[in-house]
């Protein structure tokens, strides 16, 4: 029993880490196949022992969403579905009941609320209890109706997806091979949760309804339900106790509803034949099917388990497997020093394409699989997209993990973090690590150079094209070699040249920020440059006392700035950079009504494109924006002024006003009026 419980704890911990990476961080550290295998093993052990651990994934749903968007509790919990890969298990569930068999779409589940015929709210699934409010983004989904005929209150659920064709279109527009998205689900998740819905709109996100949660008449101002005329569709809707009737009604309201077939256990095979044939040609991602009882009352009478509703069941496709032989392990360095193992194997056909490589993720997985050159391995595509190693049949374990970095040739060492072993380059001067500084330099708030992604910078640094920031503006000398590189060509090279020419026109504040001086963000850089009247030589010669005397600039920032310019090599590199630039003064946006005020911005915004635009707006009017709430903060901007987020709690503790965007704009008007009165 002790060994069994220990195994259950191990399985729970592994599944917990994998679920956290998948739901909260949009990355995969374990294949779907491996996750399902371990999950089934844990469920079997729980049934055998009668014990369920408190943090078991068999009773927990998902993970709490990130704090990048306002959060809100769902009116009713969103549970996962029990699942099987066995058709007979599915047939047993269906039995003689009329059942709707539909696609299990692979995207992001969204809950929509309509009131008085208007889209009022959209919330992600989140952890099933609390989700993220993404209303502003849902309004630009490709096929969501913003107004519907029904004038009552409607709550429905569906899946937001990005089609394969749009996924490929977006990836084709990204010239850097290494910067392309891995699969439609991750692209969709990031698109739905953007802070700027202009980006969401360009991604062509689509919504397919799969469940009607509730309909009810809207109460009047006094809170009572109004008596409506028969012609008014705000009256209660009779769905005749049928889920299919709900689907038909949703279609009439203007929603795209997930495709389905009506089946019983006897007619299941014909429907399964249709779906299994159609899945290969579908333009949308699907990882299986969902069976839902049509009889609403019967389904609801069955209730739920701690995790699953009993009126629905999921069927997952069996993954197409191929045997092949491992040829080598390629060790791929990253900007963080992490060196990732990639399996190279004899090419095989999977899901209609030829594959020959798969990420092994880390040294722990490499060791667990006991990989060795020449081993016979089974490979598959997770969700028909991502190549993975499912199993090693021969397990020779003859691999030697390198002790030298493939980029710089210096020491590489295995480090264990959170019980996961990974290989790292230990050389702080490794070219692969330089990417961090250059990535900041080319970023939007710094020099804003399009066409130089992290992956492209890594390639240029690895080839010796770039040693300091000024070299970026001399990249044309390597034209002949660049146009022959993978992911490049004449057009992409010319686009890069255009971007570099545009980036030469900039401000001193952007230059100072782009240097990556410790503790100096763009806001601080603007304050410093404004104080020294955009005179670079005055900034170089300034002492700590003078800099720290600037309003909003303390001794820590002052020391960082002065220390940076004390190093002759830094000045030499800056001179090289400045020889390519054309500086102009920061544009002023009127009176400095926020001078001396410090703001923190959190949550989503609606009157501005994104939080960066709010930040620029404040700074142009003399204010300062920081990332955390402290006693020096004057105002916290958050449209969800009543939320219990960490920043809201901190602001309340310090008695700092929490402003919505409307409050903020009103504050600007009031302060502008006060200044004029003065």
- The answer to whether the beta carbons of residues 437 and 161 sit under 8 Å apart is no
- The answer to whether the beta carbons of residues 592 and 622 sit under 8 Å apart is yes
The owner of tokens 């980036």 is: 503
3-state secondary structure (DSSP) of residue 244 = helix
Region label for 553, one of left (φ > 0), alpha (ψ between -120 and 50) or beta (otherwise) = beta
Alpha-carbon distance of 672 to 592, in angstroms, equals 9
104 is catalytic: yes
3-state secondary structure (DSSP) of residue 326 = strand
- The answer to whether the beta carbons of residues 371 and 390 sit under 8 Å apart is no
DSSP state of 236: P
Alpha-carbon distance of 656 to 654, in angstroms, equals 5
Alpha-carbon distance of 260 to 26, in angstroms, equals 29
| Chain centre to alpha carbon of residue 115 | 29
Angle (CA) 491 495 499, round 5°:
170
Burial zone of 599 (CB within 10 Å; 0-12 exposed, 13-18 middle, 19+ buried): buried
- The answer to whether the beta carbons of residues 161 and 102 sit under 8 Å apart is no
Rounded to 5 degrees, φ, ψ at 620 are -65, -20
Burial zone of 669 (CB within 10 Å; 0-12 exposed, 13-18 middle, 19+ buried): exposed
Helix (H) or strand (E) holding 21: helix 2-25
DSSP for 489-510 reads -HHHHHHHHHHHHHHTEE-HHH
3-state secondary structure (DSSP) of residue 547 = helix
Residues in the chain: 678
14, 104, 615, 647: the catalytic one is 104
3-state secondary structure (DSSP) of residue 14 = helix
Q: Where are the alpha helices (DSSP H) in 177-280?
A: 184-192, 197-202, 243-252, 268-278
Catalytic residues: 104
């Amino acid at each position: 029993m002790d060994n069994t419980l220990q195994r259950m704890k191990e399985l729970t911990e592994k599944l917990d880490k994998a679920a956290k990476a998948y739901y909260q961080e949009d990355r995969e550290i374990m294949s779907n196949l491996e996750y399902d295998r371990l999950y089934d093993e844990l469920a079997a052990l729980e049934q055998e022992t009668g014990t369920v651990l408190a943090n078991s994934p068999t009773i927990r749903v998902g993970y709490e969403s990130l704090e990048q968007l306002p959060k809100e509790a769902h009116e009713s919990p969103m549970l996962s579905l029990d699942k099987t890969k066995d058709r007979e298990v599915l047939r047993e569930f269906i039995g003689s009941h009329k059942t709707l068999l539909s696609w299990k779409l692979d995207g992001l589940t969204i809950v929509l609320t309509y009131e008085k015929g208007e889209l009022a709210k959209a919330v992600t699934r989140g952890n099933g209890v609390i989700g993220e409010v993404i209303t502003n983004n849902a309004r630009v989904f490709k096929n969501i109706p913003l107004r519907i005929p029904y004038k009552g209150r409607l709550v429905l659920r569906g899946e937001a997806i990005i089609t394969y064709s749009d996924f490929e279109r977006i990836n084709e527009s990204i010239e850097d091979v290494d910067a392309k998205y891995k699969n439609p689900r991750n692209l969709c998740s990031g698109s739905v949760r953007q802070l700027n819905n202009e980006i969401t709109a360009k991604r062509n996100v689509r919504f397919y309804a799969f469940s009607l949660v509730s309909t009810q008449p809207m109460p009047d101002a006094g809170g009572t339900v109004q008596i409506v005329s028969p012609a008014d569709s705000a009256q209660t809707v009779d769905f005749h106790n049928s889920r299919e009737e709900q689907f038909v009604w949703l279609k009439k309201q203007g929603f795209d509803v997930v495709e389905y077939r009506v089946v019983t256990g006897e007619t299941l095979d014909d429907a399964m034949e249709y779906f299994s044939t159609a899945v290969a040609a579908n333009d949308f991602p699907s990882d299986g099917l969902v069976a839902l009882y049509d009889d609403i009352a019967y389904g609801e009478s069955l209730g739920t388990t701690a995790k699953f509703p009993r009126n629905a069941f999921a069927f997952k496709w069996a993954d197409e497997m191929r045997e092949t032989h491992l040829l080598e392990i390629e060790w791929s360095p990253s900007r963080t020093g992490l060196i990732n193992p990639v399996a190279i194997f004899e090419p095989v056909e999977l899901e209609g394409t030829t594959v020959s490589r798969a990420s092994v993720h880390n040294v722990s997985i490499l060791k667990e699989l006991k990989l060795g050159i020449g081993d016979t391995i089974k490979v598959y595509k997770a969700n028909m997209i991502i190549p993975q190693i499912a199993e090693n049949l021969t397990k020779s374990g003859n691999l030697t993990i390198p002790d030298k970095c493939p980029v710089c040739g210096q020491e590489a060492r295995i480090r264990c973090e959170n019980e996961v072993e990974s290989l790292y380059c230990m050389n702080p001067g490794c070219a692969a690590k330089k990417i961090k500084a250059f990535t900041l330099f080319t970023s939007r708030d710094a020099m804003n150079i399009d066409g130089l992604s992290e992956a492209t910078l890594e390639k240029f640094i690895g080839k010796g094209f770039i040693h300091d920031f000024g070299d970026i503006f001399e990249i044309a000398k390597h034209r002949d070699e660049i146009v022959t590189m993978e992911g490049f060509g004449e057009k992409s090279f010319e686009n890069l040249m255009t971007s570099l020419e545009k980036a030469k026109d900039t401000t001193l504040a952007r230059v100072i920020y782009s240097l990556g001086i410790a503790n100096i963000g763009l806001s601080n850089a603007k304050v410093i440059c404004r104080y020294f009247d955009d005179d670079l030589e005055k900034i170089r010669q300034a002492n700590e006392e003078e800099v720290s005397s600037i309003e909003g600039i303390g001794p820590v920032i002052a020391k960082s700035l002065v220390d940076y310019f004390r190093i002759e090599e830094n000045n030499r590199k800056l001179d090289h950079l400045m020889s390519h630039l054309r500086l102009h003064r920061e544009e002023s946006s009127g009176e400095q009504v926020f001078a001396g005020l410090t703001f923190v911005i959190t949550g989503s915004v609606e009157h501005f494109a994104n939080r960066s635009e709010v930040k620029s707006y404040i700074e142009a009017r003399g204010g300062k924006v920081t990332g955390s709430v402290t006693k020096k903060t004057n105002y916290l901007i958050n449209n969800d002024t009543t939320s219990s987020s960490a920043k809201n709690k901190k602001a309340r503790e310090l008695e700092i006003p929490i402003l919505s965007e409307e409050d903020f704009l009103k504050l600007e008007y009031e302060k502008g009026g006060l200044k004029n009165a003065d």
